[in-house]
Structure 1
Amino acid sequence: MRELDVAVVHGGHFPCFGKVRYRQLIDEYLAQKRQAGCHLLQAR
């Protein structure tokens, strides 16, 4: 997925973001610095 040539990612209820943030999020997941799912639900 990281190599997809995205221009804009529509994050549902969250602001849209581009290729740099998309790849940053994937890298954080792979480095286990971020959990899958909505961060708002995990705060409970």
Structure 2
Amino acid sequence: MMRDSRAEGLRALRAEQTERRRIEEELRAIKKAQGPGRSRLSQSVS
């Protein structure tokens, strides 16, 4: 039983890490496409 819950936790952790890597890669691509300069996000927040 303990093994099952630990394996399930590891699967969830791996899934979260994979999702995080995908999102970070997407964010890098967006920043690269924007080019140098201030972030448009910080300007729209205020």
Q: TM-score, normalised by structure 2?
A: 0.38
Query: Looking at both structures, which has the greater relative contact order when contacts are Cα pairs under 8 Å and sequence separation is at least 6?
Result: 1
Larger Rg: 2
Please report the TM-score for the alignment, with normalisation by the length of structure 1.
0.39
Question: As a proportion of its length, which structure holds more helix?
Answer: 2
